A and B are shown apart, each in its own frame.
Chain A
């Protein structure tokens, strides 16, 4: 049976444990990929994949990724919400892998809202 390589997991744990953001619990940005039936059918998982790859490659540790269900705007999927601490969340519409990479690099990392892809600015809940 194919098994988990516990040794490799241990190595990751040791390497990651020193990171400060992890202990302080500071999450500067929350990115939500809307993962309802409509989102998935429109390509949300691929958007999520490119987001996770970007985070991995950039090495940032203060960005948390999460998923949510459908919020009723199915025709504009895939949708992604970017919530920077102390700022109103921005919802992006019709996302794809390239747009996700751009939003990550420009908005998440540099704070510049990518208005051409934006659907709405909402009032913060968190």
Chain B
């Protein structure tokens, strides 16, 4: 993975596979404290404590089509090499919270990358799942809630190409406005 946004897309794929109906993604950039935090909260089926712990082992996977599971280990590694930390908290039947802290100015910190691309891929790929995305950049904030969009759209599907295009542009402009990923 070369970008944080790709890691996010990957971790969210875990949430959708866990049957989540609401996934909250928040990014907080605080350049004063030199921290970039990514938090992904889902209401999926969750994991028992022993499985949550094993999830960070690259040679553990819940799938049987291959013998490695690299998504979480790679995000954890990406955070740790920037002097950051990584935690995963899961409750069986309730959901999972993944938090990754990065050293914002650390030379090894991956760039944020194409967040609009990540978000529209998630939305178009999982139109029934709701996503809440908030991005804080030194006190300025951007927020997107697919529940609001669906309310407004009524019978028009959220994965309609015109709607996806609109969401992509909205995120791109919004993130630019708050100076995200600088």
Contacts and interface: CB of A to CB of B under 8 A. Distances in A.
Which of B126, B149, B156, B166 counts the most chain A CB atoms within 10 A? B156
A13 interface: yes
A33 to B, nearest CB: 7
Contacts of A10: 152
Interface in B82-122: 114, 117-118, 120-121
B155 A9 contact: no
Interface residues of A, number: 39
Mostly, the B contact residues are: helix
Interface stretch (A59-67, A102-110, A115-123): A59-67
B74 interface: yes
Nearest to B6: A40
A69 interface: yes
Interface string A31-66: 001011110110001101100100110000100111
Nearest to B11: A37
A16 B126 CA distance: 20
Contacts of A13: 152-154, 156
A9 B166 contact: yes
Given A2-B178, A35-B9, A37-B71, A22 B114 contact: no
Contacts of B9: 35, 40, 45
Contacts of B165: 52, 56
B34 interface: no
A104 B69 CA distance: 31
A9 B153 contact: yes
A35 B164 CA distance: 18
Closest 10 CB pairs of A and B: A67-B125, A72-B65, A2-B174, A56-B161, A37-B71, A2-B142, A2-B177, A55-B161, A72-B66, A48-B121
Interface of A: 1-6, 8-10, 12-13, 15-17, 22, 33, 35-38, 40-41, 45-46, 48-49, 52, 55-56, 61, 64-67, 69-72, 74
9 contacts: A2-B140, A2-B177, A9-B149, A35-B13, A37-B71, A37-B74, A40-B13, A48-B117, A72-B65
Given A35-B121, A40-B6, A72-B63, 15 more contacts: A1-B141, A2-B141, A2-B142, A9-B163, A9-B166, A10-B152, A13-B154, A15-B162, A16-B163, A46-B117, A48-B117, A48-B124, A67-B124, A69-B17, A72-B65
